[in-house]
Chains A and B, each alone.
Chain A
Amino acid sequence: MTVMTDTALQAAPATKARGYWATVGRRIVRDKVSMACAFILLLIFLAAIFAPYLHLADPYQGSMIRRLRAIGTPNYPLGTDELGRDMLARLIYGGRLSLLIGILPVILAFIIGTGLGVVAGYVGGKLNTAIMRTVDVFYAFPSVLLAIAISGALGAGIVNSIVSLTIVFVPQITRVAESVTTGVRNMDYVEAARASGANAFTIMRVHMLGNVLGSIFVYATGLISVSMILAAGLSFLGLGTKPPEPEWGLMLNTLRTAIYVNPWVAALPGVMIFAVSICFNLLSDGMRSAMDIRN
């Protein structure tokens, strides 16, 4: 798979080799499972983003006479919920909130956790101890419990649940970032870079980040599914979104009473959460192997 580019030695200097990320991109495109997952996620994202243009029924408009219709009912392809609202519309509109509180905390935690972890790992010594032990305090709690506790303390609401989920994920990402950074920092190529007289910032930029970010990114991608489930859990407990807002976790909660009447409809929000999280998981697995360019 090594492609020899025949570049003239003198005439065309600085011809760039195919970059690392281009190589990774090519490899992931060839991975069928990852591509399938990416496709499903893309569909769900596009549907959520362009929901107002899809000519859907009003997700808030209920009807007491059309409650809990089965899947496949004319005009209600995915049935109706316990208040007679169109499930298809609610699932698609629900994706907007669910994806937001599933992904935003992970992005925020990725930024904060990577910063903390990379600094702790690169600087080492007392600063490392200070950062990592503080992080350990948060890490000691089970993540569900921590999320509930923080959400409970901050009060219900979308912003608060995003904040609490971010706090839950920061320690985990910091941990991973710190251990990866420590490993890379001790590599000979970092020593060699120091020996060439480069300052810490340049070493960080050229030699550390590229080798560190990949692993953290893959780990963070895996957390998106956890985040979605935790967010759903918070809504389920009444700590996240409030009715009548469509959100998958909340829908799962309110539809739970209908589980004996119309189990298929009641399961739909769960299916969405499951599909999105498994797709993110498989995609992050695919990225992990695509980024290991050595094989």
Chain B
Amino acid sequence: MAEAFANATQILEPFRGVKKVTLEEYFTSGHRTCQGCESALVMKLMVKAAGPRTIVLGATGCMYVANTTYYTTPWVVPWMHTQLGSSGSAALGTSAGLKALMRKGKMKSEPINVIAFCGDGGGADMGLGAISATLTHKEYNSLILMYDNESYANTDIQLSGSTPYGANTTFSPPGSVRRLIHTRWKKNTAAMLAAGHTECRYVATVDASYAVEMMNKVRKALSISGPTFIHSLDPCPKGWDYDPMLSHELGELAVETGVFPLYEVEDGVLRYYGKTKAIVEGRARKPVREYLLKQGRFAHFTEEDLGYFQSKVDEMWEKWELPGVIPFKKAVAGK
């Protein structure tokens, strides 16, 4: 009984289609995110999928500053701020506190969802160590969701370890002498965490352009015991510099061009999703220029830059051991 109790989770069955999605909202009015903000949609869908018996912890970032201004809150479920690099620690501490109190009979025993979210700055940069630690604590249930809008979008759009190659940010402006300041390739965060934490039972990538799939991955992550991680790619009109009406389309293009693959790793088994699955099975990818040139942050790209970006994405699908996920190539005998 003790062991069963130890990792009991809510069992959240997948929504069978958009018409079966529950109507109740737990992230409502009261925030001041930008028009076209995909991350606000991610928050809404995330907690809709989780339901009312949930505690949400939010690391510093736009989903903190723009969502929760004192005297107003969009959160219907309990919500608490945590420090920029602390999403992992917030998930772990909240889960451990609940577990201690329930096992000692100091609190009514019930599975409560614990979700900590962070941006790409809080997740892929500053908070990576704490997230990594939490993903090794298999006896504490939690979900860490990284909403990746590919920059420090709350502080004026500065580049993060998750900003794509060459993008124009306030820390990497294209200049008359140096066209590209930011020449680092984006971190492969989800796969890194999946590969490096063998007892973390669930890691997934999501894209809110595919909303039902996204919510069902959240529900699966919360139903699986132990710590889990979801990486969400969120088009950001302000940081990516595009018309807000294009958020949904850019989310689709990120997948269709192969720039952002959709997959999950559940108990060590990799499953591709949707258009990504089709790409792995041989369907042609759209050229990355269709995705990049719709965004002002790549407006300074030359044909050479576009070609380089395309070649790196081609490599993901043509050379990687696990296409789009694990960037190893087997050594060829004799070399």
Task: Judge: A and B partners, yes or no.
Answer: no
